[in-house]
Amino acid sequence: MPAIAVSDVDQRRIARLGKRLGVRSKAGVVRIALAELERRVERSEMGAVIREYVRKHGALDRRENASLGATGVRRCRGGSLTP
């Protein structure tokens, strides 16, 4: 695979980051960066899924929680469920 051309400024940034991370090669820095970017995208997509769920079903969940909270479970002083 051919090398990717980067500016001198980017070369220095990659080298500095590699030193901070303890990675010897530019390819190692790129691998770490790609893994982090993939994690960020996955988190962002998961957040979008959760927001959509809340938008669709949040009112129902709040009603169910309110009805459960009204009946509740009696707890002892230490927070345990047993007397």
The gap from C-alpha 70 to its chain's centroid, in whole angstroms, comes to: 34
What is the per-residue DSSP string for the chain? -PPPP--HHHHHHHHHHHHHHT--SHHHHHHHHHHHHHHHHHHHHHHHHHHHHHHHHHHHHHHHHHHHHHH-----TTS-S--
Tokens of 49: 């899924």
Identify the pLDDT of residue 42. 97
> How far apart are the C-alpha atoms of 45 and 35, rounded to whole Å?
15
Q: Quick check: 57 pLDDT over 70?
A: yes
Q: Is the pTM of this model over 0.85?
A: no
Identify the pLDDT of residue 79. 59
